[in-house]
């Protein structure tokens, strides 16, 4: 039985959601006992608690990232000018370069970057399952970071060779679902902080096979099954009728489904997702860059009626931190401003304008996508996403006197966070009642026991992690430099049935 711990957050301004999900900045103390918020009121006596002075601090619910590929740290920086098809070769397919140890460090560092940015929960679409050890080290990396994670085990197409690019014939060799079932009986991990989810994209295997796999996943007690729903010509247009309709036809669409992207869906699909209480994760930066369409997380982007938004069932994700920073607030900001541009443009095209922005395009709406709506999408709305007694102590504490936040924080803390802040303004991050960032710096991590033999250490500072990453990245790059990308891209176009005529010369 772990010993009881308590932390008292003294004299901060807490961002507390009311019953209508409006945020009420409230000057208060917050007492944390073990992993949960025990009391929210003024002038709590410290007793035996560790006291954190929150004078001139904003206490926010920790942010929730509902679509992430946490392993990809060593690939950061290479996708700056790429669209989706190119990424499938230079990013997604490079899973084959990662040893199990590389996965541990990639996952750990990706999650630490998130914690530094105030994210306390991640739904990880972990498509790094090239062996049982890779899955185990991914889970160990997430657990060691201190973050809360739904680690979604993912059957993948494994690469057999480059030059030419070939794949292993059978993506469902016996070990794939056996490993899943073993993990399902072994988890959850880290006092329940890491739970097992499932992710799946191999729908070409056909209805019977896919139904069988989903049945195994459900039997494993899985609460979240996450699926890429990416449309558009970059990947051959996706499924005829779309992935939402396919799941409906195969009787697999229910409240456990979390689609990522879902750009450019029509109203019928949006209604279907609402009716079944499934959810979506919008990842504005990657969607805007990679020609995937307008993010569906703000309805006001769709006044032209060409496709539909799904703001009431949406949340935010990073997708690839190999593309962009892992700040969910960064995604809230770029998503919000993009939607405001779409909204304004709709009227400007008609020679008109509006007197103001609608509530659905407010900074509070963006903040809610990063908090309460993220919790709903992750199916954890009774535990995370808001500051309330009995909820998990997952918090991001901002410095209201920082150069970026001062004056904004005192006027409107939500505006300060959404439009003015960066991870540098986050002084303290608490996950599951434990301090993971303090005085603006990540605290050292304890390596999960099952990874200690692979890692060779029991504790890691951020500097240790960064040095390992530089070495790991360099080893991979030497291999990546031998790849014929032109040949690999041509092969991938055939795999995805991409229509060459859709590509316009630039
Ligand atoms: Zn993705």
SS3 track for 357-395? CCHHHCHHHHHHHHCHHHHHHCCCCCCCCCCCCCCECCE
> Which one, of 118, 144, 43, 186, lies nearest residue 370 by Cα?
118
CA distance 156 to 258: 18
38/173 same-domain check: no
Q: Would residue 1 count as lying in a domain?
A: no
25 CA distance to ligand 1 centroid (A)? 34
399 CA distance to ligand 1 centroid (A)? 32
CA distance 322 to 330: 15
Mean pLDDT to the nearest integer, 377-385: 98
CB atoms within 10 A of CB 268: 13
pLDDT tens digits for 486-495?
999 999 999 8
Burial (Cβ within 10 Å: 0-12, 13-18, ≥19) of residue 82 = middle
Mean pLDDT to the nearest integer, 424-440: 98
131/270 same-domain check: yes
Query: How much is the pLDDT for 3?
Result: 62
Altogether, the residues listed in the chain come to a count of 506
53/171 same-domain check: no
Quote the domain boundaries for residue 273.
63-377
Q: Would residue 401 count as lying in a domain?
A: yes
Is residue 264 very low, low, confident or very high in pLDDT (cuts 50, 70, 90)?
confident
106/215 same-domain check: yes
23/152 same-domain check: no
pLDDT tens digits for 82-116?
999 999 999 999 999 999 999 999 999 999 999 99
50-53/6-17 β-pairing: parallel
Mean pLDDT to the nearest integer, 126-155: 98
Task: Return the CATH number at 54.
Answer: 2.30.40.10
172 CA distance to ligand 1 centroid (A)? 21
Burial (Cβ within 10 Å: 0-12, 13-18, ≥19) of residue 324 = buried
pLDDT tens digits for 214-250?
999 999 999 999 999 987 788 876 777 789 999 999 9
Packing angle, helices 174-186 and 207-219, rounded to 10: 20
Q: Would residue 470 count as lying in a domain?
A: no
426 CA distance to ligand 1 centroid (A)? 26
68 CA distance to ligand 1 centroid (A)? 6
Query: How much is the pLDDT for 2?
Result: 47
360 CA distance to ligand 1 centroid (A)? 26
Mean pLDDT to the nearest integer, 481-490: 96
More confident call, 394 vs 4? 394
CA distance 348 to 401: 38
Q: Would residue 44 count as lying in a domain?
A: yes
Query: How much is the pLDDT for 192?
Result: 97
CA distance 59 to 44: 16
Query: Looking at the 3D structure of the chain, how many domains does it have?
Result: 2
234/152 same-domain check: yes
265/126 same-domain check: yes
52/122 same-domain check: no
236/255 same-domain check: yes
243 CA distance to ligand 1 centroid (A)? 15
What rounded mean pLDDT belongs to the chain?
96
CA distance 139 to 187: 10
133/167 same-domain check: yes
CA distance 322 to 318: 10
87/45 same-domain check: no
367/343 same-domain check: yes
| Domain boundary pick from 351, 377, 403 | 377
More confident call, 286 vs 235? 286
| Domain boundary pick from 331, 348, 377 | 377
pLDDT at residue 117 is higher than 90? yes
pLDDT tens digits for 308-340?
999 999 999 999 999 999 999 999 999 999 999
276 CA distance to ligand 1 centroid (A)? 22
| Domain boundary pick from 445, 460, 479 | 445
Q: Would residue 209 count as lying in a domain?
A: yes
Portion of the chain with pLDDT greater than 70, in percent: 99
Query: How much is the pLDDT for 1?
Result: 41
Task: Return the CATH number at 340.
Answer: 3.20.20.140
Q: Would residue 292 count as lying in a domain?
A: yes
46 CA distance to ligand 1 centroid (A)? 44
Burial (Cβ within 10 Å: 0-12, 13-18, ≥19) of residue 346 = middle
């Amino acid at each position: 039985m772990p010993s009881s711990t308590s932390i008292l957050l003294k004299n901060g301004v807490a961002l507390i959601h009311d019953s209508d999900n409006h945020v009420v900045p409230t000057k208060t103390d917050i007492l944390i006992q073990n992993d949960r918020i025990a009391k929210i009121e003024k002038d709590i006596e410290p007793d035996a608690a560790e006291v954190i002075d929150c004078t001139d601090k904003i206490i926010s619910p920790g942010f929730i990232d509902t679509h992430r590929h946490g392993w990809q740290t060593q690939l950061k920086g290479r996708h700056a000018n790429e669209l989706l098809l190119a990424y499938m070769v230079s990013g997604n397919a490079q899973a084959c370069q990662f040893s199990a140890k590389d996965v541990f460090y990639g996952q750990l560092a990706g999650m630490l970057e998130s914690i530094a940015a105030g994210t306390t929960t991640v739904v990880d679409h972990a498509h790094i399952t090239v062996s049982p050890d890779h899955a185990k080290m991914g889970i160990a990396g997430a657990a060691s970071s201190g973050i809360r994670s739904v680690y979604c085990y993912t059957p993948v197409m494994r690469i057999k060779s480059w030059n030419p690019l070939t794949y292993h014939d059978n993506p469902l060799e016996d070990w794939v679902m056996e490993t899943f079932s073993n993990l399902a009986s072994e988890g959850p991990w880290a006092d329940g902080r890491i739970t097992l989810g499932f992710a799946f994209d191999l729908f070409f295997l056909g209805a019977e096979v896919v139904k069988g796999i989903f049945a195994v996943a459900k039997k494993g007690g899985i609460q979240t099954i996450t699926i890429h729903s990416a449309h558009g010509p970059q990947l051959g247009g996706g499924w005829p009728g779309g992935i939402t309709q396919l799941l409906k036809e195969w009787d697999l669409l229910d409240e456990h489904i979390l689609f990522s992207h879902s750009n450019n869906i029509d109203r019928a699909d949006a209604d279907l997702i609402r009716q079944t209480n499934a959810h979506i994760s919008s990842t504005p930066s990657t969607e805007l860059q990679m020609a995937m369409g307008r993010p569906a997380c703000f309805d006001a982007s769709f006044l032209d009626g060409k496709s539909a938004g799904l703001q009431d069932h949406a949340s935010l994700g990073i997708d690839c931190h190999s593309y962009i920073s892992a700040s969910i607030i960064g995604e809230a900001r770029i998503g919000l401003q993009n939607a405001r541009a779409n909204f304004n443009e709709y009227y400007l095209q008609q020679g008109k304008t509006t007197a103001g922005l609608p509530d659905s395009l407010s900074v509070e709406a963006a903040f809610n996508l990063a908090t309460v709506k993220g919790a709903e999408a992750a199916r954890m709305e009774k535990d995370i996403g808001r500051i309330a007694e009995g909820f998990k102590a997952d918090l991001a504490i901002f410095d209201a006197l920082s150069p970026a936040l001062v004056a904004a924080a005192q006027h409107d803390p939500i505006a300060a966070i959404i439009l003015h802040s960066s991870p540098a303004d986050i002084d303290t991050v608490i996950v599951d009642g434990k301090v993971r960032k303090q005085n603006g710096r990540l605290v050292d991590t304890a390596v999960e026991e099952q990874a200690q033999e692979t890692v060779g250490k029991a504790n890691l500072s951020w500097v240790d992690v960064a040095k390992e990453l530089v070495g790991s990245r360099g080893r991979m790059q030497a291999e990546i430099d031998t790849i014929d990308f032109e040949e690999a891209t041509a092969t991938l176009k055939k795999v995805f049935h991409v229509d060459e005529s859709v590509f316009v010369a630039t």
